[in-house]
Amino acid sequence: MQMLVAGIDIGSLSTEAVLLSNRKLVSYSILATGADSRGAAHRALDEALGLAGASPAAVRFTVSTGYGRTNVPFADLQVTEITCHAYGALYSFLDTRTIIDIGGQDSKVIRLDEAGSVVDFAMNDKCAAGTGRFLEVMARALEVDVDELAELAVGASRAAPVSNVCTVFAESEIVSLIGQGVPRPEIALGILESVAERVVSMVKRVGLVPKVTMTGGVAKNKGVVKALERRLGTEIRVPEEPQIAGALGAALIAESKASR
């Protein structure tokens, strides 16, 4: 029987589970957390196990992370998301020195030293500005899917100013811009630039050190990535599946613990 380790990342909007064997990714799952984070942890692991064709008995060690990490009764260890995202980013790009992680409800910037250890970090978990939730609300105001924002923004010659930090007021600002007849591509670009501006302020607090890796679900939005690259003046690498970085890091820690 193949022996596995598991990493579970419970976020406010989504839960990810990753299974590893000898540092190789075996399977993963991504699903909505919903109102029951404990149930989401079970469902995510069950789905990953099903994709791997494995039974729960094959899992030797489990590490949980994320805001709901204490709600995983089968976890052997809980580890902060800062540490787990560092491990996950380094797995994809070993020379990572700065990590930008934008999730559904929070964003964080992590700086690593040459050994890959966390030196400093900044986190926004009190406000939706600069997060996936912000993008969803703004896209809804524009009556497009959040995935269409980047494509829409390509046609813009300039970015419409979106200055409000508060998501509620920013949504009203978008509605006002639409009412003024501002072209939708310019508004879309303004939205992407607004997210980038909020994140860049955290990067400045931590200190930018190339090379930069971006994780989290928003890393799938090419418009946000490009806006950040323009503002930071550096390339940003994105893992093949950036949303599982936290769970992947948790699984890597689980493997190090299981091998002792």
**CATH number for the domain including 45?**
3.30.420.40
The answer on 222 and 109 residing in a single domain is: yes
Please answer whether residues 67 and 15 qualify as being in contact, where contact means their C-beta atoms are separated by less than 8 angstroms: no
Strand partners, 124: 107
- Same domain, yes or no: 88 and 100: no
Do 32 and 155 fall within a single domain? no
> Count of domains in the chain?
2
**How much is the pLDDT for 1?**
61
- Band of pLDDT at residue 125, cut at 50, 70 and 90: low
Q: How confident is the model over 4-20, as pLDDT tens digits?
A: 999 999 998 899 999 99
Share of the chain above pLDDT 70, in %: 97
Distance of alpha carbon 205 from alpha carbon 196, whole angstroms: 14
pLDDT of residue 199 exceeding 80: yes
Mean of per-residue pLDDT scores for the chain: 92
Mean local confidence (pLDDT), 89-111: 94
Query: What percent of the chain has a predicted confidence (pLDDT) above 90?
Result: 73
Residues 105 and 204 grouped into a single domain: yes
pTM metric for this prediction: 0.91
Same domain, 224 and 108: yes
The pLDDT score that the predictor gives to residue 251 is 98
CA distance 89 to 255: 16
The runs of H, that is alpha helices, within the chain are 37-52, 81-92, 132-141, 149-153, 167-179, 184-206, 222-232, 245-258
Whether residue 156 is found in the same domain as residue 228: yes
- 221: phi then psi, degrees, rounded to nearest 5: -90, 105
Claim to verify: residue 30 and residue 103 sit in the same structural domain: no
Q: Note whether 154 and 232 are same-domain residues.
A: yes
68 and 131 fall within a common domain: no
Gap between the Cα atoms of 72 and 254, Å rounded:
14
Q: Which two tokens stand for residue 78?
A: 């809980």
Same domain (yes/no): 19, 126: no
pLDDT of residue 126: 64
- CB-based contacts of 35: which residues, under 8 Å, 6+ apart? none
Domain that holds residue 245: 1-93+240-260
**105 and 220, same domain (yes or no):** yes
The tokens of 207 are what?
């200190």
- pLDDT tens-place string over residues 144-191: 988 888 888 988 889 998 877 677 778 888 999 999 999 999 999 999
- Residue 74 pLDDT > 70: yes
Considering the domain architecture, whether residues 87 and 124 belong to the same structural domain is answered as no
The pLDDT of residue 246: 97
User: Comparing 105 with 89, which gets the higher pLDDT?
Assistant: 89
